[in-house]
Amino acid sequence: MTASTGARNLLRHLHKPVYFSLVILTTLGAMSLLSAAIQDKGTTPLELLLLILYVILMLWINASFWTAAIGFVRLLRRPDDLGPPPAEHTPEAETGTPFKTALVMPVYNEDPERVFAGLRAIWSSLVETGRHEGFEIFILSDTRDPNIWVKEEMHWRRWVEELGQPVRLFYRNRVENTARKSGNLADFCRGWGGRYRYMIVLDADSIMTGATLVEMVRRMEADRRLALIQVPPVPVNRHSLFARMIQFAGSLYGRMFAAGLAFWQQDTGNFWGHNAIIRVRPFADHCGLPKLPGREPFGGDILSHDFVEAALLARAGWKVRLADDLGGSYEEIPPTLIDYAKRDRRWCQGNLQHARLVLAQGFQTLSRIHFAMGVMSYLASPLWLLFLVATGIEAYFKSLERPVYFFGDNVLPVWPQTYTVEMTTVLVATLAMLFLPKVMALFLLAVKPRLGRLFGGVPRATLSVLIESLFSVLLAPVLMLFQSKFVAAILLRTAVGWPAQRRGDHQTGFAEALGAHGSHTLIALVAGALAYVYVPSFFWWFTPVLAGLALSIPVSMITSRTSLGILARRAGLFLTPEESAEPPVLRRLDQNLASPSSLPCCEIDEQELWSRAAADPYAYALHASLLPDETPSRRRRHYLEGLIFQLQDDGTGSLSPAEKRALLSHRDGLYELHTLLWAGAEPPATTGSRAGSEGAT
Amino acid sequence: MGPGVGSDVVGTSPTAVTSASQGCGLEAGHWRRAAGRVAAYLAALGVQEPREVELLWGKVRLRVEARAAVVPLENPVEAAIEETHGLLDLWIASELGLEGDANTLCAARAVVLGGGVPGWSARWAGLSEHSLAPEIRALCVNAVPEPAPLTMEPNPIDLFMHRLGARLAAMIRCILGRPGDPDAAARGHP
């Protein structure tokens, strides 16, 4: 070991102590300022509550601030290249033994057009690297919707025919979607995990460049104790004003946060569920997830499986890293505030479930911190709400106090002691912690001109940051109330479900906005009136929160507008490097989406695709070929026959999606359905035979 | 239920079919109803040449008549569609030399109807001597690779203070000299 390597290793050991010392010291400093201000005439229980809440919230804010600050320093010293470094070695060169990497994409009722357009873009990018032969794509479908299921199969078949031999594109639809996504991945490992050394997990909206995929494999090969590399995904491809602001913030500040996280996480990083490479065998050995004891929402299947899988790998002694220096990793985000909140609702339950794991036996300290931070990312909202309410009550009580200038034997008036300086310092310090990362990000753009240009230039980026900050202030109280509601629902043991995500651009109408934000507006009016009447001095401090809530309906509608997002883009606002210089892989995705493949029998009413697919001989034959060869039990056969009778008597509208799926799930039932449709009073209208038209040529 | 591959009807020779139909007979009206639908179904399968349609149509009729000789037909149209389907499966199985391999049969059916095998309908109708087995096999694609299973069992996670009461009770029992099964107590069982 050289002296420089030894020094580097020594420094690496200091990363965690440095970070956590900074977080704790600044929190203690803020606490001392506030406690000095509220200890006048002793501390009341309410003041004690305020102090405790403030410390918890400041700890959370400081953790974010120092992560960003450290990331800022690291990025200052790094060249402003956003892409992945060129892969220098082939994977085979590292080990001498050939191996395969699976690109696995678990999907659940996603739009097949988008899924396959994305995969095609990734594959094209991979082919351009010339290293694609070591990769295979595996679509792990948990789709329950029978129409989408059929469409996925048609897309798969079309593409597999185009790719030719050897087959590198696989598809399977799980019979039962036990344990959701984690169960889907586990099912893959149990069935085909031995075929692959690595798997790269993609979400339905993930996009990764071929160069990044190859580099991820190279890094895994270079370190045999490395089990997982997470590449931070950059949000792209949305056009609404809301989404473009989030994309801008994610791209500009996200890089700093990722660099900071990588600094203190080191080899005990986290898994974010997708855009990550995983060594398959240790994953299979250590990441089988148990059901948590008790009932939902805290018991049962582990919903946010990714954090737990990373913690289990770390517990078993494997390294988990965040590759903050790798670009070429993208994802899409919810297009509107309401969709964003819906996604939060799904994630919230999973993250709160981690509260039970924070102190579970055997996990590494950093894994516990990841769990705690995940919990805190949702618990912070109700704590802020409680803090605001407690502050209002405290202000009300203070307003009732009448100053006494003469008491005892004092001849001269005794002026009440003021703590304006301390309170102002507390406020300024808190705001600085919240807003300084934005300033640091702008500073990075100023000192790195190439990067600055990709964000539209420093002046436009500064204006974008200002507008984004204004909207953040308006949106924060709305998200606070949303998340507080979700947390309350979960604590009251109301399961919040796990609905499929609505991903495409769409706009919020008045009715939808009123339904989602009506209560927010009402709360703003009532709280504002109470504050104005009873604590007028507090009212003005409270106005930023009140304004956000009172304006939530128009803000939600306005920010959902794609026209405004596009207008802002034309004005050079909220520009991201991915918009300024669109990477080829994203351009290819756009092209694929702009020219969707026409599939046989899929150009008709998509709601009835399942029955058309059962009628169309080719679609029927294809679907049957992808079903498992199993004979249904007698009970099952009777059930399927009952469904067919129902279909005959009452029409397709009488069947639920689950019943339609059941009919399509067994070859026997499908055969019955196929012949039944062809034996009906009128022959089914098919879209013409592929076999005839192409076979004749 | 299930496709009629390998059924009794499939194995019946043309001579037997003729004699059976003469013995029991398929009512002319029934067949007229079924015939049009068989033609439409053949067209949907991709059989377009009139000569091929005619030959296959005749084969289907023989099969339906044979079936009617064995058991009265509840729905002649449905029976005719089933027999057309069965005839196709029989041809594919014979072309590829399959015996009871339902997965390959289904995959091959998808290949044939997918339009990747020129001249298949002529071969099915018996108008071509050229075997299509190599083409069909080459185009058969497995949706999943060969199984390569790994064991993935749930890993235990011991939650903090989980069943603390039961564990404490077990400890107290131990101290009192009535140990029992501490693990059972911890699990909450007697």
Q: What is the pLDDT of residue A498?
A: 45
User: Which DSSP symbol is given to A331?
Assistant: E
Indicate yes or no: CB of A194 within 8 angstroms of CB of B150: yes
Q: Which residues of B touch A672 (CB under 8 A)?
A: 1
Q: At what angle do helices A617-625 and B28-45 cross, to 10 degrees?
A: 70
Where does the pLDDT of residue A177 fall: very low under 50, low under 70, confident under 90, or very high at 90 and above?
A: confident
Highest mean pLDDT, choosing among A598-607, B31-40, B111-120, B159-168: B111-120
CA angle A263, A265, A269 (to 5 degrees): 130
Q: What is the pLDDT of residue B13?
A: 36
Q: What is the mean pLDDT of residues A40-46?
A: 78
Find how far residue A116's CA is from the centre of its chain: 20
CB B125 within 8 A of CB B146: no
Distance from CA of A362 to the nearest CA of B (A): 8
Q: What is the pLDDT of residue A606?
A: 62
User: Which DSSP symbol is given to A603?
Assistant: S
Q: Find which of B87, B106, B150, B162 to mutate to test the A interface (most A CBs within 10 Å of its CB).
A: B150
How high is the mean pLDDT of chain A?
Answer: 89
Of residues A424 and A71, the one with the higher pLDDT is A71
Q: What is the pLDDT of residue A130?
A: 94
Interface of B with A in 76-135 (CB under 8 A): 77-78, 81-82, 85, 102-103, 106-107, 109-110, 112-121
Spatial separation of the C-alpha atoms in residues A128 and A432, rounded to whole Å: 46
Q: Find which of A175, A618, A636 to mutate to test the B interface (most B CBs within 10 Å of its CB).
A: A618
Q: Find which of B155, B160, B163 to mutate to test the A interface (most A CBs within 10 Å of its CB).
A: B155
Among candidates B48, B81, B160 on the partner chain, residue whose Cβ is nearest the Cβ of A360: B160
How high is the mean pLDDT of chain B?
Answer: 79
- The beta strands (E) that lie in A87-197 are given as 101-107, 135-141, 169-173
Q: Which residues of A touch B159 (CB under 8 A)?
A: 292-293, 356-357, 359-360
**Residue B115: strand, helix, or coil:** coil
Q: What is the pLDDT of residue A607?
A: 58
Indicate yes or no: CB of B121 within 8 angstroms of CB of A692: yes
Task: Say which range, A295-299, A412-416, B33-37, has the weakest mean pLDDT.
Answer: A412-416
Burial class (CB in 10 A: 0-12, 13-18, 19+), A14: exposed
Q: What is the pLDDT of residue B21?
A: 43
Percentage above 90 pLDDT, chain A = 65
Run of H or E residues at A321: strand A319-322
Radius of gyration of chain B (CA): 30
Q: Could you report the per-residue pLDDT of B67-113, keeping only the tens digit for each?
A: 888 888 888 899 999 999 999 999 999 999 998 889 999 999 999 99
Highest mean pLDDT, choosing among A38-52, A61-75, A381-395: A61-75
User: What stretches of B46-101 show up as alpha helix (H) in DSSP?
Assistant: 50-70, 76-96
Task: Say which range, A196-200, A317-321, B12-16, has the weakest mean pLDDT.
Answer: B12-16
Q: What is the pLDDT of residue A548?
A: 96
Task: Residue A263: count other Cβ atoms within 10 Å of its Cβ.
Answer: 21
Tell whether B13 is within 8 A of chain A (Cβ): no
Q: Could you report the per-residue pLDDT of A235-266, keeping only the tens digit for each?
A: 999 999 999 999 999 999 999 999 999 999 99
Whether the per-residue pLDDT at B5 is higher than 70: the answer is no
Q: What is the pLDDT of residue B171?
A: 80
Q: Could you report the per-residue pLDDT of A507-537, keeping only the tens digit for each?
A: 899 999 999 999 999 999 999 999 999 988 8
| The model scores a pTM over 0.80 | yes
Q: What is the pLDDT of residue B185?
A: 42
Whether the per-residue pLDDT at B11 is higher than 60: the answer is no
Highest mean pLDDT, choosing among A36-40, B87-91, B181-185: B87-91
Q: Which residues contact A53 (CB under 8 A, 6 or more apart)?
A: A383, A386, A387, A390
**Cα–Cα distance list, A329 to A117, A236, A261, A277, A515 (Å):** 16, 10, 17, 12, 35
| ipTM, two decimals | 0.81
Contacts 24+ apart (CB under 8 A), A5-11: none
CB A237 within 8 A of CB A57: no
Reduced 3-state DSSP string for A501-530: CCCCCCCCCHHHHHHHHHHHHHHHHHHHHH
Query: What is the side-by-side strand order in the sheet with A207-208?
Result: A207-208, A329-331, A234-235
Indicate yes or no: CB of A362 within 8 angstroms of CB of B158: yes
> What tokens does A673 get?
């359905």
Q: What is the pLDDT of residue B153?
A: 94
Minimum Cα–Cα distance from B139: chain A residue: A161
3-state helix, strand, coil in chain B (%, to 5): 60, 0, 40
Spatial separation of the C-alpha atoms in residues A481 and A450, rounded to whole Å: 40
Where does the pLDDT of residue A5 fall: very low under 50, low under 70, confident under 90, or very high at 90 and above?
A: confident
What is the per-residue DSSP string for A208-260?
E-HHHHHHHHHHHHH-TTEEEEEPPPEE-S--SHHHHHHHHHHHHTHHHHHHH
Of residues A357 and A695, the one with the higher pLDDT is A357
**Residue A284: strand, helix, or coil:** helix
Whether the per-residue pLDDT at A490 is higher than 80: the answer is yes
Spatial separation of the C-alpha atoms in residues A201 and A106, rounded to whole Å: 8
Where does the pLDDT of residue B19 fall: very low under 50, low under 70, confident under 90, or very high at 90 and above?
A: very low
Spatial separation of the C-alpha atoms in residues A604 and A612, rounded to whole Å: 9
Task: Residue A208: count other Cβ atoms within 10 Å of its Cβ.
Answer: 29
Q: What is the pLDDT of residue A201?
A: 98
